[in-house]
Every structure is written in C-alpha cells, then in structure tokens.
C-alpha cells in the first residue's frame, strides 16, 4: 500500500511533525508498505532518507517561526498526488493543504487529517484577547465570552468535513474536534456547517534505543554543571507560543529559593536573543546551546539533565518531553497542555506561570534520583513507535503484518 503524507511546517532540521512523519513512515516500511512524504522546501527535489521517499515542493519561508515553510501553491501538491497515485492520504496541516482532502475524495482515496495542533490554542497564543471576548482588529468579527473557540469551530467545521477520518495524539488534541461534534449534534441553525468525521486517538512514540538512560555520560554532565548544581534543561524551538520565558522565570525562582541550578536551553528560533537577555537580567547561571542537530548528542544531553521543563501551554503531545522520559529524566510541564497525559506520574505539573512551575521543579528534584529516573523510563516504555505504526495501519485498514505485494499492497 502506498501511503502519502503531506505536510506544512516541516522543519529543515527538527520539529515534532518531521520526527513523527519519519518515524511512522519507517514503521510502514518495516511492515511492507510504501510511504511517501510530501513536504515544503526551497525547491523541488526527491530523495530517499532512511528508506523513505521524500518529495519536496517549493514554498516560501514564514518569517518569525524558526525556518518553517508553507506551500502557497497547493495546486502543485494536487498535481503531485495525481502522479503518485496514493492508496491512502495522510495530511498534517490545517492551512493551505486542506484542499488535498477534496482531491482524495474526488480520486476515491481514503484520507485522514492529523490534529497536531489546536486552532483555539494558536489563536490565544497569537491573537491577544481572543480568549476574553475581544473583537478582532478592524472592529469586526464574533464577540463573545471566548472568541477563540467560536472562530476555531468555524474553521475546523470547514476543514474536517474534507477528510474521512481524524487522528489526534492525545485527549487534549482531540478535545477541539469533540467539542465541535457535540456542538453540531446539539444545535440546529448554529451557523457551523458540516459534520465531524470519525475521530481516532493514536499516541505518538519515542525511539527507546536512541533515547535511553544509558546515554548518561559523566564528562558531559560535568561540562553542564558542577556537582551539587541541578541541570534544568529546556528543549524547544524558541518561538513565542512555546513560552520558554516561563521556564527561565521558573528556574530563577528555584535559585532564589536556595537551590543551586543551571538553566540549559537546547534549541534555536526567533526569540533566542530576547530569551538569553531575560536569563541575564535574572542573573541566572545559564547556557544556550542553540539548535542541536546531532540526535545522539541530544539524547546524551537529555540523559544528563536532572529535570526537563516543557512550559508550552498549548502543546498537543510533546515529543521532546517523551524523549526526556525515555532518557530517564523527569519532566515538569504546564497543566493546560496535553503533556500531563504523556508524563503521568513521571514528573510534575504546574499552571503555566513561573511560581507554579518552580514549585513543580522543586517537587521533582526532592524525589530520590534513582526512583525518579526509573519512573521516567518506565513511563516512556508505554510509547513505542511500533504501537503508533500498528494503530495507524489499522485505521487505514491495512493489516500490519501483510508484506509488500500481497493482499493489495504494492
């Protein structure tokens, strides 16, 4: 079976969508299927990476979000789909590529939309006041007790109906679609057209071999901080919606409380200069490493940290947090995100404010080191990529054990 996955916001070096697309594609290959990834880039190319064909479509950079590109000529993607002749279509985008769902329906190809983000969360992050009944700029638009859910419902209603199925990675990611479904079922004349397709929950996974407590390296640990100083690590793109500023402020509070700690930030993005200046204003002992392209080095950093802080309030899964758990490092996360579902008891949860997150960091560091590291690893072992791949193939109606060339595969 040829399964084509199209996406926007596919990072040139890293990012959750990129990691998930390649990991799931490798699971398809291992089970005898043929995945093809269609993603934006500077030009049109075709390459094979790790046994997976990747086809790029020319797309411009979106300023201010860390090097991501968005296809502005979706017709090129539809023409490419005509050439690829997929048996199944997966889409990771709710912007310019949603029309591929219409292409799939016309072509008789079953399709699904991956819900990697929440529109209402993005509205609140980038549209100040959207959750407070504010009127959009220009004085027009919906006014109510919470504008973001209303606008999100209208957008999602127009988007979801183009696809046969929806896939969400967590309950938090699924809640937006569930809310819309309840609204449509319980209201007549709501002004929100369409219906919500069947919704499936498929957690993402983690490479349990690459990310492992065995990656802990005494020399690396010594280089991060002296003995007796906790290494508090943040692994994130440095853009506004990730709220790395909350982590910086939280670590500053931890230090003021009398606990020696060094903040280490792995990641690049448009807010790098601003965030480094924030740490310096606090007088915080810190290291900004920039983007870490070597996944093995990243795994070593995660295994050497004492705690990872994932402050993003609208994360719908949090692959970096799961990679930390697999490395034996507990995670502190925002209660408003999906991360509490992923982290479970292998970390601590706080409201997305510095005081609450600082208390959560103290909570984790007060636990015996061996016990907290063991709990983190055990939690991560519940999320192998193999389970993700098998679940996706069940949704596609493709038994995971069928080899290529048999039973309708190719």
* Confidence at residue 192, expressed as pLDDT on a 0 to 100 scale: 52
User: How open is the CA angle 322-197-4, to the nearest 5 degrees?
Assistant: 60
Residue 66, pLDDT > 70, answer no
Task: Assign 410 a pLDDT band (cuts: 50, 70, 90).
Answer: very low
Q: What pLDDT sits at residue 146?
A: 63
Element (H, E) at 80: helix 74-84
How high is the pLDDT of residue 274? 97
Checking if the pLDDT of 195 tops 80, the result is no
Q: pLDDT-based confidence at 16, cuts 50/70/90? A: confident
Q: Give the residue from 276, 349, 272 showing the smallest Cα distance to 309.
A: 349
* Rounded (10°) CA dihedral 397, 402, 405, 409: 10
Helix 272-281 / helix 244-256 crossing angle, nearest 10 deg: 20
Task: Give the 3-state secondary structure of residue 376.
Answer: helix
What is the distance between the alpha carbons of residues 355 and 76, in angstroms, rounded to a whole number?
A: 49
CA distance 333 to 91: 28
Q: With cut-offs at 50, 70 and 90, classify the pLDDT of residue 68.
A: confident
Q: What is the residue whose two structure tokens read 């209303």?
A: 150
Does residue 405 register a pLDDT over 60?
A: no
Q: Give bridge partners of residue 45 from the DSSP assignment.
A: 56
- Between the alpha carbon of residue 179 and those of residues 124, 202, 343, the distances in Å are 17, 18, 24
Domains (range + CATH), the chain: 2-204+385-395 (3.40.50.2000), 213-380 (3.40.50.2000)
- Amino acid 404: pLDDT: 42
Asked if residues 60 and 70 have their Cβ atoms less than 8 Å apart, the reply is yes
What is the Cα–Cα distance from 206 to 322, expressed in whole angstroms? 7
Distances (CA, A) of 257 to 276, 278, 283, 365, 393: 21, 19, 14, 13, 50
From start to end of 305-364, where are the E strands? 307-310, 331-334, 347-350
Return all residues near 299 (Cβ < 8 A) that are at least 6 apart: 210, 211, 212, 215, 323, 327
The reply to whether the predicted model has a pTM over 0.85 is yes
- pLDDT tens per residue, range 119-176: 888 887 766 554 444 343 333 333 333 688 888 899 999 999 999 999 999 999 999 9
Asked whether residue 64 carries a pLDDT value surpassing 80, the answer given is no
Mean pLDDT of 9-36: 90
Q: What is the pLDDT of residue 127?
A: 66
| pLDDT cut 90: percent of the chain above it | 78
Residues ≥6 apart with Cβ < 8 Å to 187: none
> Going by C-beta distance under 8 Å and a sequence separation of 6 or more, which residues neighbour residue 127?
134, 136, 147, 148
In angstroms, the CA 379 to CA 382 distance is: 6
Q: How many residues can be counted in the chain?
A: 410
For residue 388, what pLDDT band results from cuts at 50, 70 and 90? Answer: very high
Predicted confidence (pLDDT) at residue 203 exceeds the cutoff of 60: yes
Of the candidates 377, 370, 366, 336, the residue with the CA atom closest to the CA atom of residue 353: 336
Mean pLDDT of 281-298: 96
Nearest-angstrom CA–CA distance, 297 and 60? 30
Which DSSP helix (H) or strand (E) runs through 324?
helix 319-326
């Amino acid at each position: 079976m040829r399964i084509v996955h199209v996406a926007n916001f596919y990072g040139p070096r890293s990012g959750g969508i990129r990691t998930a697309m390649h990991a799931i594609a490798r699971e398809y290959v291992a089970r005898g299927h043929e995945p093809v990834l269609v993603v934006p880039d500077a030009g049109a190319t075709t390459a094979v990476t790790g046994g997976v064909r990747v086809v790029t479509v020319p797309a411009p950079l979106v300023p201010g979000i860390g090097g991501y590109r968005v296809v502005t000529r979706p017709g090129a993607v539809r023409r490419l789909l005509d050439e690829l002749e997929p048996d199944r279509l997966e889409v990771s985008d709710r912007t310019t590529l949603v029309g591929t769902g219409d292409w799939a329906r016309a072509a008789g190809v079953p399709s699904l939309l991956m819900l990697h983000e929440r529109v209402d969360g993005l509205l609140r992050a980038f549209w100040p006041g959207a959750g407070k009944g504010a009127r959009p700029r220009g004085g027009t638009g919906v006014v109510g007790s919470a504008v973001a859910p209303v606008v999100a419902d209208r957008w999602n209603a127009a988007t979801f109906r183009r696809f046969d199925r929806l896939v969400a990675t967590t309950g938090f990611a699924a809640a937006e679609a569930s809310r819309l479904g309840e609204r449509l079922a319980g209201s007549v004349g709501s002004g929100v057209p369409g219906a919500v397709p069947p919704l499936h929950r498929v957690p993402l996974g983690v490479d349990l071999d690459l990310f492992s407590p065995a990656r802990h390296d005494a020399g690396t640990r010594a280089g991060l901080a002296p003995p007796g100083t906790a290494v508090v690590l943040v692994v994130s793109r440095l853009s506004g919606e990730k709220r790395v500023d909350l982590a910086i402020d939280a670590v500053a509070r931890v230090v003021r409380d009398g606990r020696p700690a060094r903040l280490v930030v792995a990641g690049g993005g448009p807010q790098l200069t601003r965030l480094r200046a924030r740490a310096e204003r606090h007088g915080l002992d810190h290291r900004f490493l920039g983007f870490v392209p070597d996944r093995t080095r990243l795994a070593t950093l995660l295994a050497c940290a004492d705690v990872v802080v994932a402050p993003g309030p609208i994360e719908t899964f949090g692959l970096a947090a799961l990679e930390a758990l697999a490395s034996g490092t507990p995670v502190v996360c925002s209660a408003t995100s999906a991360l509490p579902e992923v982290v479970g008891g292998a970390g601590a949860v706080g409201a997305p404010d510095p005081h609450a997150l600082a208390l959560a960091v103290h909570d984790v560091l007060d636990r015996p080191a061996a016990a907290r590291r063991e709990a983190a690893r055990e939690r991560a072992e519940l999320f192998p990529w193999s389970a993700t791949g098998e679940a996706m193939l069940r949704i596609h109606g493709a038994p995971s054990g069928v080899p290529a060339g048999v039973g309708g595969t190719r």
